[in-house]
A and B are shown apart, each in its own frame.
Chain A
Amino acid sequence: MASPAPRAEPAASGLARFLWRRPRLQLSLLLAGPVGWLVVAYLGSLAVLFVASLWQLDDFSGEIVQNPGLQNFQELIDTPVYRSIVLRTALIAALVTITDAVLAFPIAFYMAKVASPRVRALLVVAVLMPLWSSYLVKVYTWRIMLSNEGMVNWVLDPVGLNGPGFGNVATWLVFSYLWLPFMILPIYAGLERIPNSLIDASGDLGAPTWTTFRRVILPLALPALVAGSIFTFSLTLGDYITPTLVSSTQFIGNVVYANVGIANNLPLAAAFATVPVAIMVVYLLIARRLGAFESL
């Protein structure tokens, strides 16, 4: 058979073929940018944070002394106020996480397993919509609602109750409100991945609804639950605006803010900023011990 006359080819086709024959090169070209950004901007800055937390501030000159040591961490542990701030932050973050998980699970389950495709789409939008409005507006609205003359007291008054006012309860409430979508979405995605037949099978084998939830749905949704809790937990750990607006108590974030902006003690701020990272690492290790990532 006569070979067909060669077609005129654009140069791009030659490049495509060249890359097709070198898949590794193609992959490197594709990933160089994003991976470089990830390494430098995220991991690099985290590393710098760790290094900076080991430096000190010269009390007299106000200069930073690049002399590694653990003094900042010593100060964190020795100062009772700092200890109670860490404890309070972690405790409220944990409470917020539990609250959101309890609220999110039924909603996510309904979205993933019960609702019709139409209702599901509407619910996804409804869950996402609060994220479109400004964080500050939402927190200020809560501040107004929780104030003495605010809506919460106004509604509760006829029943003879008082609102929580400003303080730790208000912080817990507002954080739970703010981060709920970050819990719903991963759990929804996780539940959607569980085949319905597994739920049917559990009932078929004699398990009542609660047993099916405990032995089948919860273990399989655990990675999603952990993913959601990473959001709610770490977002709470790092926030300082909400505590400022609806409480007079301090969070880790407030201390970092004060040391960066006011006291100009960057090393101490860095040391304090590593605390949430350390808490998250411990949390994830515990989650792994509990088998949270086995069915990933």
Chain B
Amino acid sequence: MTRNGDSAVRLVGARKAYGDVVAVDGVDLEIEADEFFTMLGPSGSGKTTCLRLIAGFERPDGGRVELAGRDVTGLPPHERDVNTVFQDYALFPHMSVGENVAYGLKVKRIGGDERRRRVAEALAMVRLTGYEDRRPAQLSGGQRQRVALARALVNRPRVLLLDEPLGALDLKLRQQMQQELRTLQQEVRITFVYVTHDQEEALTMSDRLAVFNDGRIEQVGEPAEVYEHPVNEFVAGFVGVSNIVEREGRRFTIRPEKVRILDDVDASDGLRVEGGQIRDVAYIGAVTRYIVDLDGGGEIQVVRQNLEMSSQEALEQRGRRVRVGWRGEHAYAIPGSQQQPEEEL
């Protein structure tokens, strides 16, 4: 992280406001070369604006944008060595697929055989060989998305920016495209900067991710690190479902899949055990989700695989008194919460 000049993208104190609304509020960020970096956050958290600052569609009110160590803050998009895959794909409707993909090469005056070869390569890479003469309107959503990808990659940019590219696709296709994007990124060895509000997508695909909230970055780190050690309640709640339990003035987060409902016969060695009552049960096919009111105060969500339990049995658990237990190391104290109770005391 400290190898200066080596980072593919660097934001220094980037700030952008629209009227009274501060979309990006002093963001510092370093993205390494060749990494798959995700900007995750709810809508309106400033992640897309950050992407647009990197691409050059927006000019920051303050701060700097650097690409490969070079200050590009004052450069228009067409002079930046990045390409973007847009949320709505932004394919030119008056051009064929081939013309769309060739556009970047054409305006850079790369002509003849080289252009034809690179367009064919790019279309082959996204498995759309033979679609050159179709119009974007004749393609399905998934195919359009692939054309947008080919149109960006054909320019061999140093950095590829992707703005919620899978948002408009249905679940099956989205999961398939997640795989493909990840494989593609490893093949082409280009830095991917990926914007999404889908935490699962962020966790599956990224080398590292940044969690955005309210124009600021709350946490940057590898997926496992962010998931297991969220720095504050926002991150804990946004990345995965999280239980927040307050004990002895400290707040802990425990992931629902780490909590067990203990039957009388179960051993409870090494577990922290509390009593409670099941308030609600939701059967979700592969798993069942229980909400347990804890006797010690607060509630806890428990997710349990339906190994032997039928839906009927699961639903009948409602109202039952239970013991829940978890390992001490899975209850992670939220760092930020330590100061707050102290201040109040």
B-binding residues in A (CB < 8 A): 195, 197-198, 200-208, 211, 215-216, 219-220, 291, 294-295
Is the Cβ of B94 less than 8 Å from the Cβ of A206? no
B52-69 interface bits toward A, Cβ cutoff 8 Å, 1 = contact, 0 = none: 000111000000000000
B63-100 interface bits toward A, Cβ cutoff 8 Å, 1 = contact, 0 = none: 00000000000001110001110111010111000000
- A63 CB to nearest B CB, Å: 56
Interface residues on chain B, number (Cβ under 8 Å): 23
- B274 CB to nearest A CB, Å: 48
Query: With A206-B107, A215-B107 as given contacts, are A201 and B90 in contact (CB-CB < 8 Å)?
Result: yes
Q: Which of chain B's residues has its CB closest to A216's CB?
A: B92
In angstroms, Cα B55 to Cα A220, docked, is 24
Contact of A204 among B77, B87, B88, B108 (CB under 8 A): B77
- CB contacts between A and B, total, < 8 Å: 65
Contact of B107 among A198, A207, A220 (CB under 8 A): A207
Is the Cβ of B77 less than 8 Å from the Cβ of A203? yes
Is the Cβ of B92 less than 8 Å from the Cβ of A200? no
CB of B151 closer than 8 Å to a CB of A:
yes
Q: Which of chain A's residues has its CB closest to B52's CB?
A: A200
Which B residues are in CB contact (< 8 Å) with A216? 92
B150-179 interface bits toward A, Cβ cutoff 8 Å, 1 = contact, 0 = none: 011001000000000000000000000000
Say what secondary structure dominates the interface of chain A: helix
Which A residues are in CB contact (< 8 Å) with B84? 200-201, 204
Is the Cβ of A206 less than 8 Å from the Cβ of B104? yes
Which B residues are in CB contact (< 8 Å) with A295? 93-94
In angstroms, Cα B75 to Cα A95, docked, is 39
Contact of B55 among A198, A202, A204, A206 (CB under 8 A): A204
- A242 CB to nearest B CB, Å: 37
In angstroms, Cα B119 to Cα A224, docked, is 32
CB of B103 closer than 8 Å to a CB of A:
yes
In the A-B complex, the 9 residue pairs with the smallest Cβ-Cβ separation, listed nearest first, are A205-B104, A197-B90, A203-B77, A201-B90, A207-B107, A204-B84, A197-B86, A295-B94, A206-B78
